[in-house]
Amino acid sequence: MERINESSILSDKENDIPDMINYEESDLNNSRIDQDVSYFPDANVSLESERDLNTTLNDTIQLKKNLGETFDQLTKPGQSEPGSFRLSVAEKIHEFEMKPPHTLPFDSFESESEPEAKNFSVYLRLRPTANSDNTIEILPKTTVAGKSVQKIRTHAPASSHSFKVARAGGSSTVKEFEFAEVFAQDASQQAVYERTVSPYINGVLAGESGLVFCYGITNAGKTYTVTGPDKTLTSESVNQSWGLLPRALKHLFELSGNNGTPYLSLHMSYFEIYNEKIFDLLSVETMTGRTAAHLKKSLHSISLHRVPSLADGLTFISQAKTNRRCATNSINKESSRSHAICQIQVLNESSNIKSNLWIVDLAGSERSKRTGGLRQQEAANINMSLMTLNQCLEGLRSSAGDKKNAVIPWRDSKLTRLFAAHWMGPYANRTSMVINVNPAASDFDETQHVLSYSSVARNIDTSSIPKEKAAPAVTVEYDNNGHRMVSGKPTLSQKIVNVIKKLSPHRFNASRKRKENSDDHDANSSDVFNFPVNHKKSRTELVKKDEKNAPHGSNSTDQKEINSLKMKVSVLEVENQMLKTQNNELQADVDQLRDQIESIEADVRDEVAEEMESQMRAMSQQYDDIIEKMKLQMEHLVSSGTVASASKLRPSRGEQKIVELTEQLEECEEEMQRMRKDQEDQIAVISAKFEEEVSKKDAELHSLREKLEKVLKGKYVNSFAIQIERSNETLVREEGGCSQGSSPSNPILLDDTQSTPDSLDVECEEIDEKNTQQTDIVCSPDPAFPLSRKNKNSVRHPFEELSSNSQSEQHSEVCWMKPNATLKQDPSTGFFLRPKGRKPKDAEYWDKNRGAWRLSVAMNDL
């Protein structure tokens, strides 16, 4: 095994620039130039030579201008038909521009045959577990848009926090995640290698870099996937437990040897990022024992070792594994406490083109509560850098979407700076992420977070990453002379350096060596990954700055205190960030659940309405059927005349009786009404007749009165009285128009006196002498007691006895009408009224039963 001294590696090329991230020469050229400027400070360049160089530059610009004009001449419009010179030149330029830098032009290692992926390839690997927890269900592979994809379903165990949250929110405890492929617990190391790393090997030999990293919580199988068990790395024969790294090495050796390419050499760097510091795992010091010497401040100082054979490569891997920081925690007795990065560099010695394959074993994300919390600083740094990695992934995804201005915090951790070097380069699409998962129920909650980030990574479209992301931050800085330096555009000093590099490499190198001799290797204090400086200083940098700015001689105990407080703050920040993420996820779940509830409510309402409607329709139909049935039954009964059976349809007897009685009652009422109407009609007719008669008699009486007055005034009184008497004898007055005898109803018989008009003034003495008959005035409307005249001079009342009980009464009964007495008649009833002003006599009364007045008037009373 040939071990290459790190300084020899770093300085054996003409343009001796550390090429850990060698694509930067093209893509991040300016930052490299910034660094170069530090090797060639402006102070060392005389003004004269600067003037000369400016002239050279102007000449070059003029030359370029002339070339442009010539090109325009040749490609002016009208010459752009297919096959024309203009088109072919344009095509060539386009082809040239699109071509990624450093692609090896030879055919033997043409890029992979697999379709060029635009997105990161994200795989899932489940590690075997002792217990039978079945939290992850692997679904069959499917093809989406021509690509094979595979999903898993996670089932939250009842003991998990996710389960409780899902239940509390009413959401599902099952979630789905999609991957390029899922490796089950029994998947072989070979199967994982073939899918994740193998496709990049050809490209790496052809000058195209690739990055594969394993991500997961502690004890999920990352180290196992990357390297496999230690003891298997001792032999060159492939062990089935070999991880990705030894397999990749073997594959590279096999391919480069088979293709007869002695000009290709393999080199390896292996380092770890521990507590945000870089440690070389293959430095000379680390070979003999861990000392502070293996702490490196930049990637440029990390050793790069030539790997002449597979055995040497396996030894390096084994060595690095030994040197890597591990610790025993409550979960994993050999838990990696750092991110381990292996860089296999393929150098084409004939063209000096380099390409890299990075295989990264990340430290496991963890909760200090679960792992014991004794190594808080480690845990905080691990979580912090993983959090930054996640933020960068999220930023990349957003920047490929609509958030073009999303700030990607590359510089917040060393790990992300390294990854950014690849992701912002031309081969960002050649990235595989292997998610390692332990399906144990106890790991479920943390695994969910890991899986959610895998979804983010899967959705990064590397082709859509805006150019400004690839060369971020146009940063304004000032050089030592106060000249304004704008990264992205070469400053005058940079132009000078470039020209010197081109015109006189020897002079450039000499100047650089001078610089190296005068300065410590780390004196340039440039960033380890030589990225363009961003305005936005990272927190880590600020912390560093604070440390630098701390007053000299300050108490070291205070400093320790400050550091420990800072560490606590960073732990809390990480925890806080995790909680925020969790909170956001929960909020999203809540929103989703709210939507679900609303839609479920709407569905339920619709369902209930439909159900009710259908029930009502069914009921209505039932009633219709019953009615129809009864109608048919009735018709049948009627047509068959089956009384007996028809009687079944009758209502109960009581009801029938009620109906009958009600009908009778109604009939009675109708009859009564009819009778009443008849009576009223009759009464009306009788009344009319009576009135007519009365008016007639009134007229007669009137004439008689007139005559009587005349008689009284004259000598014909007697004869006239006799005449009255005679007429009285015959006068029968019938009530209601009935003639005496013809109708029994309401006869009213009037004797002679009665018929005498009440206003009749008679000379009683004279009459009395001639008419000594007793005269009772009786009126009787009652047909049951018709009055009759017993003789023509006397009308006997049925109560005649009353008025003729004694002689004295007999005497007194002999009543004589006062000559000037006035008897008035009620026109409506036809009764005679008691003479006005007269006091009633004992013989005078109203017989209720007969409805008649009996009047006995003693003439001598008057």
Three-state DSSP class for 443? helix
* Burial of 690 from C-beta contacts in 10 A (0-12 / 13-18 / 19+): buried
Residue with smaller CB distance to ligand ATP, 438 or 756: 438
User: DSSP state, 841?
Assistant: P
Residue 851 is assigned to a ligand binding site: no
Q: Least distance from C-beta 105 to ligand ATP, angstroms?
A: 40
Q: In the complex with ligand ATP, which residue's Cβ is closer, 126 or 396?
A: 126
The minimum distance between CB 272 and ligand ATP, in angstroms, equals 12
Which residues, including other chains, have CB under 8 Å from residue 120's CB and lie 6 or more apart? Answer: 429, 431, 432, 433, 457, 458, 460, 462
Residue 498 CB burial class (10 angstroms; 0-12, 13-18, ≥19): middle
| 219 labeled part of a ligand binding site | yes
Query: Minimum distance between the CB of residue 437 and ligand ATP, rounded to whole angstroms?
Result: 10
Closest residue (Cβ) to ligand ATP? Answer: 364
**Side-chain-facing half-sphere of 804: CA atoms under 13 Å:** 10
Q: How far apart are CA 440 and CA 345, in angstroms?
A: 37
223 annotated as belonging to a binding site for a ligand? yes
85-102 as b/e: b if 16+ CB within 10 A = ebeeeeeeeeeeeeeeeb
Strand-pairing partners, residue 274, are: 277
Q: How far is CA 23 from the centre of its chain?
A: 48
The reply, when asked if residue 221 is annotated as ligand binding, is yes
Place of tokens 């690997």: 125
Beta strands in 705-844 (DSSP E): 777-778, 788-791, 794-796, 824-825, 832-833
Classify burial at 665, counting beta carbons within 10 Å of its beta carbon; exposed 0-12, middle 13-18, buried 19 or more: exposed
Alpha-carbon distance 252 to 694, whole Å?
Answer: 152
Q: Are 103 and 206 in contact (CB under 8 A)?
A: yes
Closer of 220 and 359 to ligand ATP (Cβ) = 220
Task: Please count the other Cβ atoms lying within 10 Å of the Cβ belonging to residue 333.
Answer: 10
CB of 569 to ligand ATP, least distance (A): 25
Nearer to ligand ATP, 136 or 264 (CB): 136
- On whether 491 is known to bind a ligand per the annotation, the reply is no
216 labelled binding-site residue: yes
Least Cβ distance, residue 436 to ligand ATP (angstroms): 5
Check: CB of residue 255 under 8 Å from CB of residue 201. Answer: yes
Q: Which is nearer to ligand ATP, 394 or 446 (CB)?
A: 446
- In three-state form (DSSP H/G/I as H, E/B as E, the rest C), the secondary structure along 661-712 is HHHHHHHHHHHHHHHHHHHHHHHHHHHHHHHHHHHHHHHHHHHHHHHHHHHH
Binding site for ligand ATP (CB under 6 A): 127-128, 216, 218-224, 332, 334-336, 363-364, 436
| Residue 365 CB, nearest approach to ligand ATP (Å) | 8
Helix segments in 771-806, DSSP class H: 800-803
Cβ at position 163, least distance to ligand ATP in Å: 24
Tokens of 679: 């009576």
CB nearer to ligand ATP: pick between 226 and 252: 226
Query: Is 220 marked as a binding-site residue?
Result: yes
What Cα–Cα distance (Å) separates residue 790 from each residue in 6, 170, 505, 787? 177, 118, 182, 9
CA distances from 477 to 151, 440, 467, 489 (A): 49, 52, 21, 12
Cβ pair 710, 762 in contact under 8 A: no
Q: Which is nearer to ligand ATP, 364 or 757 (CB)?
A: 364
Separation between Cα atoms, residue 226 and residue 246, nearest integer Å? 8
Q: How far is the CB of 363 from ligand ATP (least distance, A)?
A: 6
- As given in the structure block, the two tokens for residue 846 are 């109203």
Q: Are strands 181-183 and 121-126 parallel, antiparallel or unpaired?
A: parallel
Residues 530, 36: Cα–Cα separation, whole Å: 11
We find the least distance from the C-beta atom of residue 371 to ligand ATP, in angstroms, to be: 8
Q: Which is nearer to ligand ATP, 224 or 799 (CB)?
A: 224
Tell me how far apart the alpha carbons of residues 309 and 728 are, in angstroms, rounded to a whole number. Answer: 176
Determine the residue type at 743: S
Q: In the bound complex, what is the minimum distance in angstroms from residue 269's beta carbon to ligand ATP?
A: 21
> Which of 281, 309, 253, 211 minimizes the C-alpha distance to 6?
281
Residue 336 or 487: the one with the smaller Cβ distance to ligand ATP is 336
In angstroms, give the least distance from the CB of 386 to ligand ATP: 11
- 217 annotated as ligand-binding: yes
> For residues 275 and 642, what is the distance between their CA atoms, to the nearest angstrom?
108
Nearest distance from C-beta of residue 179 to ligand ATP, angstroms = 16
Nearer to ligand ATP, 188 or 664 (CB): 188
For residue 138, the minimal CB distance to ligand ATP (Å) is 15
Q: Please, which residue, 21 or 450, has the CB nearer to ligand ATP? A: 450
Helices (H), 743-826: 764-770, 800-803, 807-813
Q: How far is the CB of 222 from ligand ATP (least distance, A)?
A: 4
Compare residues 445 and 735 and give the one whose CB is closer to ligand ATP. Answer: 445
Which is nearer to ligand ATP, 179 or 831 (by Cβ)? 179
Q: Is the Cβ of residue 364 or residue 472 nearer to ligand ATP in the bound state?
A: 364
The least CB distance from residue 155 to ligand ATP, in Å, is: 21
| Of 218 and 368, CB closest to ligand ATP | 218
Contacts of 438 (CB under 8 A, 6+ apart): 126, 127, 129, 216, 217, 219, 220, 221, 447
User: Could you tell me the two tokens for 131?
Assistant: 């217990």
Measuring CA to CA, which residue among 686, 645, 681 is closest to residue 781?
Answer: 686
Binding residues: 216-223
Binding residues for ATP: 216-223
